[in-house]
A and B are shown apart, each in its own frame.
Chain A
Amino acid sequence: GAVVSQHPSRVICKSGTSVKIECRSLDFQATTMFWYRQFPKKSLMLMATSNEGSKATYEQGVEKDKFLINHASLTLSTLTVTSAHPEDSSFYICSARTMMATRYNEQFFGPGTRLTVL
């Protein structure tokens, strides 16, 4: 149980285009989802916290107009990279927090999305 999927797993796009990444909790409901960015050989950097039905909370230094986050349901959050540039190329990972009391403080991670902007 507690499986999180991401789609697509890999995407290549041209500079200036927008890319949408989906994060789904497949067998549980998640009131909170987190979006991370990981550079090569680096740790995960939290970009934003996404709560179902409300606006996302962005970490300092993350452009909210560039990285649009929507959490429309208890099983789906999307990250849209708008007007992507080569410096946005990275590995994007989402995680979801379950509503289950026994595992409330555990995050379940998706497999990640490799974004390459040409």
Chain B
Amino acid sequence: AQSVTQLDSQVPVFEEAPVELRCNYSSSVSVYLFWYVQYPNQGLQLLLKYLSGSTLVKGINGFEAEFNKSQTSFHLRKPSVHISDTAEYFCAVSDPSAGKSTFGDGTTLTVKP
């Protein structure tokens, strides 16, 4: 069994400030890790993923995340946010053998001018 906990349900931040969205997971097996972004009434778009290798992963739109195995975390960061980054962000883990993903409850990022 696997689970995902997104530690912050809402994160308000001012434009051009840095942001970190926190994600912790638990699993009895090795997993793949993902961050997705969802804009209102749309599907999910992949921001970045960790499958193996370097623990620092860079994604689209200036986002990056660091896999920390000892702390079972995969926090998402961006050094300077834009108004357009306002959206719902989901952290997910995937069992490599089964392929299906388990999602966190989401974090609403609101970027204010």
Contact = CB atoms under 8 A, between A and B. Distances in A.
Interface of A: 4, 6, 32, 34, 41-44, 46, 49, 91, 93, 95, 97, 105-112, 114
Interface string B70-113: 00000000000000000000100010100111111110000000
Contacts, number: 49
Given A105-B51, A105-B94, A106-B49, A44 B42 contact: no
Interface string B34-50: 00100001111110010
A46 B101 contact: yes
Nearest to A104: B99
B100 A43 contact: no
A97 B46 CA distance: 13
B51 A34 contact: no
B41 A110 contact: no
B44 A109 contact: yes
Interface of A is mostly: strand
A26 to B, nearest CB: 14
B42 A42 contact: no
B35 to A, nearest CB: 12
B99 A32 contact: yes
Nearest to B95: A105
Nearest to B44: A109
A62 B110 CA distance: 33
